[in-house]
Amino acid sequence: MTPSPHALGATLYMPVTRPDIFDIAVGRKIPELRSLVLCLEDALAEHDIARGLRNLADLLARLDSHGRTRGDRPLLFVRPRSVAMAAEIAAAPHIERVDGFVAAKCRPGHLDPWFRAVDHTELLLMPTLETDEFFDVQETKFFLRELRAIARDRVLALRIGGNDLMARLGLRRARGLTLYDSALGPVLSSLAIRGVAEGFALTAPVFDILDDPDSFAAELRRDACHGFVGKTAIHPCQIAAIHRAFQPEQSEVEIARAILSPGAPAVFRMNGAMCEPATHARWARNVLARFDTLGARDAGTAPDCEILRLDG
């Protein structure tokens, strides 16, 4: 069964060459982690690729022997260096032990090879939007419609490569600000609006300043308000705050249940707000999907973003 995109939560990218990657992949070392990307792209130097592929083969064999299935471990994805590498990995023994691929630098008009690479498998795809085309509204619309036409059911979520998009502009995240306060803000809003309208879930870009908890908390609030379903984490110390940010408040869960109740009035008031099932049903379903995966938090509780430490 295909997992809910809300199950991604905080997604941690790690090089597949890490000596402890098996313990992380089976949920032993970072038990709170919900999704892990085994990286063979940016996280590896060119001279480490062969070792990375050997490590991945060893990891798949160990996962097969270990026997843990989805629900007992984080969702597992591989980020190949190229679509040719993806096709090679998709044919590897025990590939069914991972959930899919992160398709790096997907571009409009270049999707077919990725889907051909996984065609004979049950692997899911998470395309990453991180190239110049996604600054252009028409190119973005073309890409999303092309993706929907080819195989929307294969796509668990779309990931936004915030650092790559900023690099295209010659910019870097500024301390004390969220990405929404930067030149990338309108792009994030545009991708969220158009992606969701075409039926896709999207995840928010990484926050890569580890000692700016106020800006991290502010960005998480805006991520959730934009309808993103998760966020890339740069370090395990960010995981709890990300998960808390995407938890609905208990009052939202109660309102969502009331809106979806078969006997709900056409318009009613609850907790000081107007509720209209005809227009709020999709919101309510999303709230309950988040609740089913992450649980609920108390009203008015912000993400717990302390000064982040790199220890351990």
Q: Do residues 163 and 216 make contact, with C-beta atoms less than 8 angstroms apart? A: no
Q: Do residues 281 and 258 make contact, with C-beta atoms less than 8 angstroms apart? A: no
According to the annotation, is 139 in a ligand binding site? yes
Q: Do residues 158 and 148 make contact, with C-beta atoms less than 8 angstroms apart? A: no
Closest of 241, 280, 242, 240 to residue 264, by C-alpha: 280
Which residues, including other chains, have CB under 8 Å from residue 246's CB and lie 6 or more apart? 6, 9, 223, 224, 229, 230, 231, 290, 294
Which amino acid is present at 142?
F
Q: How many CA atoms lie within 13 A of 136 on its CB side?
A: 9
- Give CA–CA dist 171/178, Å, rounded: 13
Closest of 27, 181, 158, 175 to residue 100, by C-alpha: 158
Annotation: binding site: 139, 164
Can you say which residues are annotated as belonging to the binding site for Mg(2+)?
Answer: 139, 164
